[in-house]
Structure 1
Amino acid sequence: MKKLFKKIISLTYLIIFLFGFFIPFNQVLAQDANNQLRIVADKLNLKLGEDIFITAKTYQLSNKVISFQSSPAEGIVFSPSICTTDGNAFSTINSCQVGFGSTKEGTFKITASMVYNGTTSSNEIEISITKDGGVIKNCPTGQILVNNICTTPATVKPTTDTTYTPLAPLPGLDKTINTTGECPFGNYLNVIIKLVLGIAAVLAMVMIVMGGIEYMTTELVSSKESGKETIRNAILGLLIALGAYLILNTINPKLLDACLDKLPEAKITILPYNQNINSYMQKTSGNCSVITSGECSVENLKNIFGGKADKASMICNVESGGIVFSKSNSDYCSVGQTTFSFGLFQINLLAHGDKIPSSVGNCTDLFITSKGEEIGVGKKGYVAKDEKSNFSHYDCKLRPERGDDYNKCSAYLKTATGNLSVASKLFQAKVFEDWRLSDQGVCPAAFQ
């Protein structure tokens, strides 16, 4: 029984504390009377001589005297002109009715009013009365029909207001936030961080109060220890929350700054077409050593590269590891992810398709840019770089109608004979310059 009594007291204190903190009593008990009276008519368009009922509804109020008036008042009959709402204090909505009729045509503004807490509140509707009860179909020029009444529309001026108004005010935050100011989102997040710390402090205080109540309302040593432990844990949690903010702010205040306004702007530049570059993608790994057997062995490459066969073997090892049918994992178009470098020396089909024999197929002009522009000498380039001239991506895509040619040409480059034939032509033209940009970083010995 004693434990139950203690729990009831603790829960009561906690509810009162939280209720008073988050919802002040002066806001809970205050009610806006203007939002608690509404009137509704059976019809808004009446025939001359027709009678209807007008209902007044009050929200969370009972036994209220409602009085009705009309403007203009001539010819209007209320029966009666005053009514009293229901007396059920437990009902959300209470209502009363009056009869309404008119001996004249026109548009009448009906006003219902009541006195609540010394303040008069009111609500209005408009009723139109004609001979046949018909709806007005045409309005004078410059007016529109609203609820069967010709009304001049309000002029709406365009606004350039860029302020953000929170649905509910937050402590430490202005009522409005100018979204065009400096770092608005970051400022908003910083306020939220402080607000979370405030909530943590409140919750810690609640736990301290609960621990104190538990400590004072028991005589058992174990329960007193439990109360002290609750207080210790609450203080420790608060210190951790405040300490995290303090440590980050001490190390570098910018760690708490969520400003996104100073992010660097990315710019991409498309370089001119260069047919002498086999790949712009620099190798970051690879085995820079001579291959002792297979298609890229020094002995096998002597007939093509002569005295530089050892260097050619190193390049082949870096490019493909001596795998005949390999394809590049980096040389591919940004559209469709179509690979264009194949085989032992990773021959670039996009740049060197013209060096493949015509008997294989038409291997030239297989690709276009992402915008459909021609790629080639004197045309558009396909290598995209950022504002710091660092490689970004290959801006290209395979022509939809050239799929068969692409398959034939790539298959040719994935044979030892075909790949070495094109590599020989590139070597005879400019030695190893086509591989320098991509391979020299990881294998400088091959270019000495």
Structure 2
Amino acid sequence: MMPPGLIIGAPASGSGKTTLMLGLCRAFRDRGLTVQPFKSGPDYIDPAFHAAAAGRPSFNLDSWAMPADLIAGLAAKGADADLILAEGSMGFFDGVAVPGAMGIGAGADIAAMTGWPLVLILDVSGQAQTAAAVALGFARFRPDITLAGVVLNRVASPRHETLVRAGMAAAGIPVLGALPRRAAIEVPERHLGLVQAEEHGALEALIADAAALVAAHVDLDALRAAAAGSLTAGTAPFPAPPGQRIALARDAAFSFVYPHMLDAWHGAGAEVLPFSPLADEAPDESADIAWLPGGYPELHAGRLAAANRFKAGLRHFAETRPVHGECGGYMAMGAALIDADGGRHEMAGLLGLVTSYERRRMHLGYRRAVLRRAMPGHGPGAALRGHEFHYSTVIEQADEPLAEVRDANGTLVAETGSRRGRATGTFFHLIAGA
């Protein structure tokens, strides 16, 4: 039997979801509860923060990319917990126009599939009773969603809180808490979203402060009592590992790996052998595949260009075994990376790809790819679902295309990935098979 759960949503990004999520995970953990965190949507940064706060891995649940059995199988990771807490993404009902595997990628889809009631966090700065109209809209917009109540955020004063609560009472909306404005616990941002957990020097202090704030201003007993759920734990056909011994690039430049992928690899008996390109380390010679995930290679382009042992070792590895890169890893496998100032940095040269940050252009969205050529773990013709998010521009792509790639609307995109010999790469991060 699955434990009860709640999902935290908001009208828009920047409303305080992550702060509330981290505070709740740690506050309940401090009470002796086992909390299983999840993240709705294709985010590889928030789960690391969740794991630090809850003390156990957080997994992505994605209604556009994942079939129902995979979502049920991942949700089963919380079967031994006392409480499930999931964090939505963007606005709670936001997603793409054309549904994918199970929905449009909205947090509301996950709430409907699991039966986890919504805890709505509202940034009430600049408004009072009007906030109740927003909450009432959330309660009525989708009949398959249950609104547990609201947590008010960035409350300016006791008088402000009284006015907002009066509006909520008139609308019949429970208020589960009211957080005063506290800039000190805002999670810092970077050009691709939140700063990664391992880069935040004061992460433990931030989580402790968030937990203290939430414990002082949120009715934890009422919030836990509102938790519910209707999902039956499942066993999912998780993605097969691309090899038995996987050399995985893992450092500040390469850390964007979906937790469910690593979990699936370990669960299938694969051995993951981390190595650090930034430390000029080559992939382990005993590995049968090398995998370079995404990250921030553009922030470390000079160090990567100077990492001659890494580059030579990767080229040597690719002579006899497959090497695959996703987004930042794909760029590092290319011929060169041009930074924001126009400086050219020579990369590993396994592929002819040249990318540039001199003219930033955002590439963002779900991707459905049908492979033209094999890549590790998948043969020609395989249909894959993933997500792309980067600001780089392709200057050269001299190798054969790896896949036919379309966005969520079915429109062809130019970023096809590429293949040369045993080296393959994509700009999208793989989430699941289609």
TM-score by length of 1: 0.20
Would you tell me which structure has more strand in proportion to its own residues? 2
TM-score by length of 2: 0.21
Say which one has the larger Rg.
Answer: 1
Structure with the larger RCO, 1 or 2 (CA within 8 Å, 6+ apart): 2
